Structure 1
Amino acid sequence: MPDNVSDKPLFSAKLLTPPRLADTVSEAIATALFDGRITPGDELPSEGEIAREFGVSKPIAREALRQLSGVGLIQTQRGKVARATAITGEPLDRIYGYAVRSSLARLREANEMRHLFETGIARLAAERRAEKGVAEMHEAVREMREGVGKPEIFIEADIAFHLGMAEATGNTMIRMQAEGMRSVQREVSELFSRRSNRSPTDWDATVVRHEDLFAAIRDGDGAKAVEMIDRHYEAADIASFEVAGDMDGDDA
């Protein structure tokens, strides 16, 4: 070996750890779920059939199914065949729910994330205007108007509006992420809607902001839609956190 050759190894990268068999099996099944070969409500093959299909042991097949059940892609019951479930953001929603209820700081962080996320959603929704989502937004605005002064109705309509906006992008992954943030929106919407000093003018202004946002998306005006998202957060959510801050101070 030449004197000027360093002792440094020729190949510095380490070999990747081979994937666990259960991970490989669960990913293959998940792919079938996402590409529609297995649809919500369908029965999955038994553990034994999965084991034979992939050439693995039954415990490996069982672990793969456990992984899929843990993230909400399938439903399992002892003694019964597993079934595919609808692919939603529910598992993420549970995580965010724990977080935002743990402290005001986490709620503020989550809502900041939601603001950034919905800015992009509004722009894309205005560009694509997927029919189902636009219809959902339209119906939600109507329900918000009818729910003025009735927090229970208003909050559900508010959540439906923002899910409809995500649906209007025509992007499945965006829809799932929006579903995953329902807990964040619910916490903020409840704070805002249940303020003791909320006047009829406040209620009406909130509905008008949503009506203007809907109109911008319906008309394909992405810049206006983003502007309305910013106004929404500046007005509605700032007021909510003022209430939350008072509550936080009372607890100190």
Structure 2
Amino acid sequence: MSADAAKKSIFGGKPATPARLADAVSDAIAAALLDGRIAPGEPLPAEGEIAKEFGVSKPIAREALRHLTSAGLISTQQGKVARAKEFNGEPLERIYGYAVRFSLERLREANEMRRVIETGIARLAAERRERSGLTVMDRALVEMGRALKHPDGFTDADILFHSGMALATGNTMIRVQMEGMRAVQREVSELFSRRSNRTDADWNATVERHRAIYEAIAAGDPDLAQKQIEVHYEAADIASLEVANKLGEGGRE
């Protein structure tokens, strides 16, 4: 941030009202972060400067920064200035991760949520076909092929594929939502990949289902993309029966 820019108000210059002071300050800073007035990696003004601009105390400014840190919009370290972070699904991923690791019911619900959301994502991806997303999906298919019978690598490639599908929509909010669901996808994918009866044909069939989704999206066919994602989830539902039994044996509720 230049010296001239630092002298100007980047938060809108509106003083906070007495009620919910920290919320008012964090809202104004969040707006500056999300509309690009403060770029990812750029430092925020010092705590004292923020307090002065909004006409609040340093403890209020500090609380506002804590709100933004919890939301994943800034990073803070003791003795250093806060810095803007790229808008991402990290906070949502943490919440979903806690939910699905310790409750079979939450895992079932989360996987159902993924099915509903990704059906729409596949359609929009086929309509827009953003090149960056198609490139990521293609790379993920290659990595899946290399990771057959290797659960960790296969799971990483699986997550990469679905991230690419979100990127292909060109929609930032969809990208963030998909990032948030990575914890759910990782939990399910790892369990599926470690099934004791998973055959070579099963591994290859999973890759081919993803390839069919990619080809439908790359061809710009929303109806086929939706059909292929539904086929993929139908196969996953069958495997879920064994996963549910495994989770039950592990003591989840």
Same fold (TM > 0.5): yes
Indicate how the Cα distance of structure 1 residues 70 and 156 shifts in structure 2: closer, same or farther if over 3 A, else same. Answer: same
Report matched runs for 1:1-252 at 5 Å: 19-239=19-239, 241-251=240-250
Kindly provide the amino acid, as one letter, of the partner of residue 21 in structure 1.
Answer: L
Is the 1:51–1:60 Cα contact (8 Å) retained in structure 2?
A: yes
The CA distance in 2 between the partners of 1:237 and 1:159, in whole Å, is: 18
Is the 1:104–1:244 Cα contact (8 Å) retained in structure 2?
A: no
Structure 1: state its 5+ residue gaps: 1-16
The CA distance in 1 between the partners of 2:146 and 2:19, in whole Å, is: 54
Indicate how the Cα distance of structure 1 residues 19 and 131 shifts in structure 2: closer, same or farther if over 3 A, else same. Answer: farther
Give 2:10's aligned residue.
none
Indicate how the Cα distance of structure 1 residues 251 and 190 shifts in structure 2: closer, same or farther if over 3 A, else same. Answer: closer
SS for the counterpart of 1:197 is: coil
- Structure 1 stretches of 4+ with a deviation exceeding 6 A read none
Give 1:5's aligned residue.
none
Residue 207 of structure 1: CA displacement?
0.5
Structure 2: state its 5+ residue gaps: 1-16
How big is the alpha-carbon RMSD for the aligned residues of Structure 1 and Structure 2? 1.5
Indicate how the Cα distance of structure 1 residues 19 and 206 shifts in structure 2: closer, same or farther if over 3 A, else same. Answer: farther
The CA distance in 1 between the partners of 2:126 and 2:146, in whole Å, is: 25
The CA distance in 1 between the partners of 2:179 and 2:85, in whole Å, is: 15
Is the 1:147–1:154 Cα contact (8 Å) retained in structure 2?
A: yes
The CA distance in 2 between the partners of 1:251 and 1:172, in whole Å, is: 37
Residue 217 of structure 1: CA displacement?
0.4
For normalisation by structure 2, the TM-score amounts to 0.89
The CA distance in 2 between the partners of 1:201 and 1:19, in whole Å, is: 62
The CA distance in 2 between the partners of 1:95 and 1:251, in whole Å, is: 21
Instruction: Tell me which moved more, 122-131 or 147-156.
Output: 147-156
Is the 2:192–2:243 Cα contact (8 Å) retained in structure 1?
A: no
The CA distance in 1 between the partners of 2:188 and 2:169, in whole Å, is: 23
The CA distance in 1 between the partners of 2:52 and 2:193, in whole Å, is: 55
| Structure label with greater radius of gyration | 1
Residue 243 of structure 1: CA displacement?
2.1
Alignment size in residue pairs: 235
For normalisation by structure 1, the TM-score amounts to 0.90
Give 2:11's aligned residue.
none
The CA distance in 2 between the partners of 1:184 and 1:90, in whole Å, is: 13
Is the 1:192–1:237 Cα contact (8 Å) retained in structure 2?
A: no
Q: Percent identity?
A: 65
Residue 244 of structure 1: CA displacement?
2.1
1:173-198 CA-to-partner distances (Å, cap 9, x unmatched) read 11000000001101110111111111
1:98-135 CA-to-partner distances (Å, cap 9, x unmatched) read 10011211100000001000011000000011111111
Kindly provide the amino acid, as one letter, of the partner of residue 247 in structure 1.
Answer: K
